[in-house]
Amino acid sequence: MGKKGKPEEGKDEKPGGLTRREFIGGAGSIAGGLIVGSALLAGACTRGPNTTPGPTSTLPPDTIISPDTLREDRIPPGQYQTNNWPVLQAGGVRRIDPPQWTFTLSGAIDNPVVLSYDEFMALPTVQVFSDMHCVTTWTRLSNLWEGPGSKTIAELARVRPEARYVIIKAPGGFSANLMMDDFMRDDVIFATGHDNKPLTAEHGAPARLVVPHLYFWKSTKWVTEVEFRVDDQPGFWERAGYHNRGDPWTEQRYQTSP
């Protein structure tokens, strides 16, 4: 990343000019330097070909409108707008053969289940119109997602009342944690499509979580398991010093943030 520009491809950076390697090195008591080597930044943002914003006026019927798209100023503090969909990850892209992929529901639920790709794709779907905000400071407005909503997943799992947290897991030892209230919003979705096209491997296919109201590292790519828990379990980047929740509107980037 240049001193003023966007992150270069392959540079795993944090805002303010420090690479994640430098940041984590300074937070050794949290991560011990373990994170930067072979680990996969599955829940963060990715750099790919230039794309154009999704539809902004004519949306399909019954589209769920993410509340943040109705703000007068849709760009959170410390962010800049881009029409690209940048990609930022540690390690290579996971190119998953759909017949080999499974989606597991586990934890504090009454219906533990492992879905095949075909079973997952047969679930009811919704469409969500949202913005996305990456902790590396870019924001992409007006995205149209399609896939099963988080409420559909929770209903299938038959989540027990005592569950208060959700852990989203992906290959390479990656995970991200969410409070149940954040997970159960109407606009949270396990996306299989984006802007009327199938999701690509670079952006998390076969399915990625999309949590529009939080920084995009919470929107885990290549999801393989959803674990519902009574207690919290900080995820991959949270253990490295990133904020436990990640609200872009209050700049909850790191543990030292409010």
Tens of pLDDT along the chain (258 residues) come to 333 333 222 233 333 333 443 333 333 333 333 333 333 344 544 444 434 444 445 788 899 999 999 999 999 999 999 999 987 665 678 899 999 999 999 999 999 999 999 999 999 999 999 999 999 999 999 999 999 999 999 999 999 999 999 999 999 889 999 999 999 999 999 999 999 999 999 999 999 999 999 999 999 999 999 999 999 999 999 999 999 999 999 999 999 887
Residue 203 main-chain phi, psi, to 5 deg: -105, 10
pLDDT of 103 reads 98
3-state secondary structure the chain: CCCCCCCCCCCCECCCCCEHHHHHHHCHHHHCCCCCCCCCCCCCCEECCCCCCCCCCCCCCCCEECHHHHCCCCCCCCCEECCCCEECCCCCCCCCCHHHCEEEEEECECCCEEEEHHHHHCCCCEEEEEEEECCCCEEEEEEEEEECEHHHHHHHHCECCCCCEEEEEEHHHEEEEEEHHHHCCCCCEEECEECCEECCHHHCCCCEEECCCCCHHHCCCCCCEEEEECCCCCCHHHHCCECCCCCHHHCCCECCCC
pTM of the model: 0.81
pLDDT of 90 reads 58
Q: Are 166 and 178 in contact (CB under 8 A)?
A: yes
Would you list the domain boundaries of the chain?
41-250
pLDDT of 5 reads 33
Tokens of 210: 């999309």
Superfamily of domain 41-250: Oxidoreductase, molybdopterin-binding domain (3.90.420.10)
- Tokens 């999801």 appear where? 223
Q: How far apart are CA 19 and CA 218, in angstroms?
A: 19
